[in-house]
Chain A
Amino acid sequence: MNNTNLIGLSRQLVLQRELDVVANNVANITTNGFKRRSGTFSEFVMPVANADAAPAGSRSISYVSDRSSVLDLAGGAVEKTGNPLDVAIRGDGFLTVTTPAGERFTRNGALSLNERGDLVTADGYPVLSEQGPLAFTAADGAITIAGDGTVSTAQGIRGKLRIVAFDKPQALANEGKNLFSSRAAARPAGPATRLETGAIERSNVNGVTEIARMIEITRAYASLTQMMQKTDDVRRSALTRLADPTGA
């Protein structure tokens, strides 16, 4: 009898978590280089619980559990900014960034120079080239980043941005600050990955999809609540009927 409520509850908890994921996608709809996540669910067969009243073949009870929140690595819209230090990555590459916690990867190409002339992200973390961090002086003048990541100035070629790709990009972990970390080693991105200079990759969150998903979640949640309510009503009327000594 109680199983209905417990199964419903397992689904509700998962739905709440999925709304959290949707909320994070919507909140980051204007975050450059942001990649949305979406939930996937699996059946979790409860080994110790079963419905004894049911026919023998369908006694096992299964709950819902969330298996993963899948990273959607589709490209975001590329917006022209005209800023020479903005780069958008076309293809499946990532820029490499050094942070105090180690190497991190990002699709957010809004780069800038710091007071010493180092090429850094908005957080001040150095962006790596094939040969390490890049630094510029006043003599360098205008900085040009070519489609393959080659950085050149008035002083000639200064290096090539390190664009990496992953064999299993799904395994990337979000670190916040638009950064990803990876346990597996990165490999150089292929020649199909190109940079577009003076442009920035926006978030790949699609407002319509997220709102549709959100409505689906709230409706599913509400219908579950109703189901649980009905079960509760059944139990309550059973109690009142059975407990009524007059038998009316």
Chain B
Amino acid sequence: MRALNTAATGMMAQELNVQVISNNVANMRTTGFKRQRVHFQDLLYETQRRAGSPSSDQGTNVPAGIYVGSGVKSVSTPRIMGQGNLSPTEKSYDLAIRGEGFFRVQTPDGRTAYTRDGAFDLDADGRLVTAEGYLVDPGITVPNTATSVSINAQGVVTASIPGQVAPQQLGQVQLARFINKTGLESIGDNLFVETQGSGPAITGNPGAEGFGSLQQGYLEEANVNAVTEISSLIAAQRAYEMNSKVITAADQMLNATTQAFRA
């Protein structure tokens, strides 16, 4: 009976749905995390009677045909790239992006990765690095004599150096954006990498046209909404149960037939 397989595809789909929801909830407090959702599609249909086919030689047509579907499949788990709330940290190397763009990060394997997580720090050499110690690109080095480093909304990094009246400019934080940012691939550690689907990175300064601006001393929270996630979780669980009921029903029908005629 096809219903058994159809319901099984439904259960598999809901299992994936619960996995994605649980990952969203687990990352509720992850800086710069973007929630995901699952998109489903119906599978192929068996056409047993096509709508509009002639039902007689008098020109009458079938108004609605018989189409029996074969279940559901998951097609994508895109990230919702909406802005997360900014929460103040009062830490001078914490940066949040208001609007479009990603920070560029050099991973140890030589690739360029992109992140919305602006919880930066200095390493032993005074270079600006991520929480994993990966270099921020373009590199910014803060001299050890510098006091009160400030990063403005346009990404210009300046510091007061003792003995100098004017603040010294240390560098420029740059952002990258993509025509299709949902096409970025997540590699963990809050990092994304460019793919064929995202298109090439477009680099620019914060505050330039099409780019967001920076906010020093703030971090972007995850854009996960607990209420939405929990209600989706309940819906997914119920959908799973209903599919398992369909399997039970199909099983009962098969059972009725096999038990009926005992020799």
Interface residues of A (CB under 8 A from B): 12, 15-17, 19-24, 26-32, 34, 37, 39, 66-71, 81-83, 108, 110, 112-117, 122-123, 136-139, 141, 168, 170-178, 183-184, 207, 210-211, 214-215, 217-218, 221-222, 225-226, 228-229, 232
B contact residues, total (Cβ < 8 Å):
71
Task: State how many angstroms separate the Cβ of A216 from the closest Cβ of chain B.
Answer: 10
Q: Is the CB of B68 within 8 A of A114?
A: no
Q: Are A112 and B69 in contact (CB under 8 A)?
A: no
What are the residues of chain B within 8 A of A20 when measuring CB–CB? 1-3, 6, 68-69
Distance of A19 Cα from B6 Cα, bound (Å): 10
Measured between beta carbons, the chain B residues less than 8 angstroms from A117 are: 179-180, 199
| Bound: A39/B65 CA distance, A | 10
B1-18 interface mask toward A, CB cutoff 8 Å, 1 = contact, 0 = none?
111101101100110010
Contact B42 A32, beta carbon cutoff 8 Å: no
Q: Of A27, A70, A211, A229, which is within 8 A of B72 by CB?
A: A27
- The distance in angstroms between the C-alpha atoms of A75 and B72, with both chains bound, is 19
* Shortest Cβ distance from residue B180 to the other chain A in the assembled complex, whole angstroms: 4
Question: Are A28 and B40 in contact, CB atoms less than 8 angstroms apart?
Answer: yes
Chain A nearest CB, measured from B57 CB (Å): 17
Question: Can you pick out 11 interface pairs between chain A and chain B where the beta carbons lie within 8 Å of each other?
Answer: A27-B6, A30-B38, A30-B235, A30-B236, A30-B239, A32-B40, A66-B48, A83-B80, A123-B75, A207-B238, A214-B245
Tell me, rounded to whole Å, the shortest Cβ–Cβ distance linking B75 to chain A: 5
Smallest beta-carbon distance A120→chain B, Å: 9
Contact B72 A171 (CB under 8 A): no
Residues from chain B with Cβ under 8 Å of A39 in the complex: 66
B253 touches A30 (CB 8 A): no
Given A69-B66, A117-B180, CB of A176 within 8 Å of CB of B42: yes
Verify A69–B65 contact, CB threshold 8 A.
Answer: yes
- Give every chain A residue within 8 A of B180 (Cβ-Cβ): 112-115, 117
Bound together, the chains give a CA A28 to CA B4 distance in angstroms of: 14
Chain A contacts for B4, CB-based, 8 A? 23
Interface pair A174/B69, CB less than 8 Å apart: yes
Who on chain B is nearest to A81 by CB? B80
With A20-B1, A24-B71, A211-B245: A138-B82 Cβ-Cβ less than 8 Å: no
Neighbouring A residues of B70 by C-beta, 8 Å: 24
Q: Which of B131-139, B151-159, B255-263 contacts A (4 or more CB under 8 A)?
A: B255-263
In contact, B249 and A21 (Cβ under 8 angstroms): no
The residues of A that contact B64 with a CB separation of less than 8 Å are 68-71, 170-171
B144 within 8 A of A: no
Residues of B within 8 A of A34 (CB): 42
Contact with A along B54-86 (1 / 0, CB 8 A): 000000001111111111100110101010000
> Judging by beta carbons under 8 Å apart, are B45 and A175 in contact?
yes
Residues of A with C-beta under 8 A to B209: 139, 141
For A69, the closest partner residue in chain B by CB is B66
Within 8 A of A (CB), among B138-190: 177, 179-180, 182-183
Contact across chains for B256 and A225 when beta carbons are under 8 A apart = yes
From the candidates A22, A108, A113, A174, name the one contacting B246 in the complex (CB within 8 A): A22
- Chain B nearest Cβ from A95, distance in angstroms: 14
Tell yes or no: B51 within 8 A of A by CB: yes
B44 neighbours in A (Cβ, 8 Å): 176
Out of B66, B177, B246, which one reaches A138, CB within 8 Å?
A: B177
